Amino acid sequence: MPDTPSEVTIRSSSGGGRQNNKNVHYKNNKNNNNNGNSNNDNNSNNKIKSKSTVVTSALPYANGEIHIGHITSTYLPADIFTRFCRLTGRKIYHVCASDDFGTPVLIRAEQENKTPAEYVDLWNKRDYEDFKLFGISFDFFYKTSSKENVEFVQYVFKRLYENGHIYEQGVVQFYCQYDDKFLPDRYVIGKCPNCGAENQYSDLCEKCGKVPDQILDPKCAICGRPPVKKSSKHYFFKLSNFSKQLKEWLNGNANLQSDIKNYVINWIDEGLEDWDITRDLSWGVPIPMPDAKGKVFYGWFDNHLCYISTLNTLIQEQHEKVQDKERQNQKQQQRQNQNSSSKSETETETDKAAERQQQNYDIDVGKKYWNNSEIYHFIGKDIVYHHYLFLPAMRMGINEEYKLPDYIPTRGHLMLQNQKISKSRNWYIGLRDFASDFNPDYLRFYIASIAPYSQTDVNFDWDVFFEKINNELIANIGNFINRALYFVQKTFDSRVPKTSSDYDLDDRSSISEIENIADEVSGLIYKNEFDRALKRILKFATHFNQYFQKKQPWNNQATANTTLFIAVNAVRSLAIMLEPFIPMSSEKVWSQLGFDNNNNDDNNNGDNSGSGSSSSSSIHKQQWTSASEIKIQPGHVLGKVEPIFRKIQTKDIQLQKTKLGKQEGKQQQQQEQKHPEQKKQ
Ligand SMILES: [Zn+2]
Ligand SMILES: [Zn+2]
């Protein structure tokens, strides 16, 4: 075996994130895989700390479909990273939730004659299905309107209140005397002062896209009557209390992108304004104060707390499952004991005390998991303010009971054909539409290859898409895979041939390419540079295309065995390394390599979750470092070989271009942004 550097295998010894005592829960136990037949014998380089990881993706607003822009800035990068970590054996959870509260949801639900809960439920399911279609593999996709989140938000508010970070103040706002309610921005319509369009929301003109300073001829959106102005008591979060602490944290965290850090520090230096965290609304997390009836929290107070409450819920559920099992075992044990002897009263008391202690400890199981993990919040640059200031300040305000993020990978917006994505102008591509015309992995591949780790905006261009997919994914990667496997199927009756021992220079350089690749690519992925990682993988495929072409196994019987032996192993390496990027296609390559029906010797079982297949030989459960090993032995039988990808035709691209900007068949009233309320405050 080559002396390839590799990461250490870190797995939960008990599985499922369970934490049963105060000892270290995650340890290097490379020989402790579930099936006990792990083949890693070269774990030496401990590159990552012995910790678990929690990845969160910004919450999609439960009020419209997910489009390619959302995928680019947030969900795809988070998924690539998560899938990669799973392959390294690192314990990782990717959690997300639908952002259910807010005025736009309430208004739309009323328009559609649904309760807000019914309405957001539909979007929660729809979003989750769309994500799944594109291989975005959450360990848990929950909702901000969950009981657990509501309780947690109220708890955090109370703690902030006790700690002196909340104050009350009257706010003058529109009030409809006829409907007897305060009208949040979205409930006031009028004439846009910028472009003169009638019937626009007071916080967003859908005609010109601007946020009006003051809407003209304001009217109540419910009854159409002009509202009056009236004072209402609101709660404010003293963000300004945290200026110094935030600055220290930003300066001290070397993992944050420095350009973003710099302008956030500028905001702090300019002076932070306190946040009005109250809305006079019926749909939201109720404010847990005796005199706050009819008031709820502003969406940005509750939504990012849902990262924590969702993780807590997941860990708690898993913990309970493990406990149930333990209790059953204990009962069984007791029954056996009772048969031989009976317990004294003191013994029973001790048992009960231990049980109580155990239960108390359980409440904190999610918190401990959070605090023992590296925390990653993947976001788009439009919500920097909330994630670099508001979110850490709130956690500081409750004495960092839940630790601050270690990383906040922030990416730019996606332009479409050099124009801003806009749902109202139908200048966007919904995920379902894309998937009905193309392999979802094409989107993943294309986006991963063009999006850098920065807040620079990137452009989705149909012509570049066409070229990247046809020339890089299909003509380079797909071509090599198909050529190598098809040759073995045709010439060697699908059996990997016996290799000779005298490798020439080309063979040796190819072997060393395999030996080095896993480490090189993982280095780039750890740095969040997925575009560069993918380029490196493409270089690997180019190398093997050239190797195959040079060796001409169809003409050289003497060396064909060795060429194909090495080439098939290179295909295996490619399949593993491409899994984070194009998981569905990797699965196909894996099956063509003959690894899906237990006829393989490359079985590496783990307790990873969130992937499509439950089979232990699944591509999603392989060991990343084994991409640098020669694992396929002579005699191994391949599966059925066929082309993995289908070339894109010019006419397919033409059709896509004509679809943009046309209004038919799509809802026009879709929201412009994921979070219409997310203005800098
Ligand atoms: Zn306007
Ligand atoms: Zn009214």
Is the pLDDT confidence value at 679 over 70? no
Q: For 589-606, write each residue's pLDDT tens digit.
A: 999 999 975 444 443 333
Bigger pLDDT: 361 vs 151: 151
- The ligand minimizing its distance to the Cα of 181 is 2
Place of tokens 């939730």: 97
Q: Inform me whether the pLDDT recorded for 21 exceeds 60.
A: no
Q: Which helix (H) or strand (E) holds 437?
A: helix 431-437
Residues in the chain: 681
- pLDDT score at 374: 96
Express each pLDDT in 133-162 by its tens digit: 999 999 999 999 999 999 999 999 999 999
Look at residue 159 in the predicted model and tell me its pLDDT: 97
Check pLDDT > 90 for residue 342: no
Whether the pLDDT of residue 465 is over 60: the answer is yes
Residue 423: per-residue pLDDT: 85
CB half-sphere exposure, 132, CA atoms < 13 A: 12
H helices present in 556-641, as ranges: 557-578, 583-592
pLDDT in tens, 265-318: 999 999 999 999 999 988 999 999 998 988 999 999 999 999 999 999 999 999
Q: What is the pLDDT confidence band of residue 334, given thresholds at 50, 70 and 90?
A: confident
Task: Report CA(205)–ligand 1 centroid distance (Å).
Answer: 5
Determine if the pTM surpasses 0.75. yes
* Distance of CA 144 from the midpoint of ligand 2 (Å): 28
Q: In the predicted model, is pLDDT for residue 31 greater than 70? A: no
Nearest ligand, CA of residue 213? 1
Give the span between the Cα atoms of 136 and 133, in whole angstroms: 8
Number of neighbours of residue 204 by Cβ within 10 angstroms: 22
240, 181 in Cβ contact below 8 A?
no
Residue 10 pLDDT greater than 90, yes or no = no
Residue 679 Cα, ligand 1 centroid: separation in angstroms?
17
pLDDT in tens, 88-109: 999 999 999 999 998 889 989 9
- What are 388-407's pLDDT values in tens digits? 999 999 999 999 999 999 99
Two tokens, residue 54: 């929690």
Neighbours of ion ligand 2 (CB under 5 A): 176, 178-179, 220, 222-223
DSSP 61: B
Contact 403, 375 (CB under 8 A): yes
Tell whether the torsion through CA atoms of 593, 595, 600 and 605 is positive or negative. positive
Mean pLDDT of 534-555: 98
Per-residue pLDDT of 180-222, as tens digits, reads 888 888 889 999 999 999 999 888 888 887 888 888 999 998 8
Contacts of 664 (CB under 8 A, 6+ apart): none
Ligand 2 centroid to 178 CA: how many Å? 5
Please indicate whether residue 607 or residue 206 has the higher confidence score (pLDDT). Answer: 206
Q: Report how far ligand 2's centroid is from the alpha carbon of 202 (Å).
A: 15
Q: What is the DSSP letter of 497?
A: P
User: Are the CB atoms for 443 and 134 separated by under 8 Å?
Assistant: yes
- For β-strands 92-98 and 52-57, DSSP reports them as parallel
Helix (H, G, I), strand (E, B) or coil at 239: helix
Distances in whole angstroms, Cα of residue 267 to Cα of each of 262, 388, 456: 9, 11, 20
Of the pLDDT bands very low, low, confident and very high (cuts 50, 70, 90), residue 665 is: very low
Instruction: Determine the distance separating the centroid of ligand 2 and the alpha carbon of 221, expressed in angstroms.
Output: 7
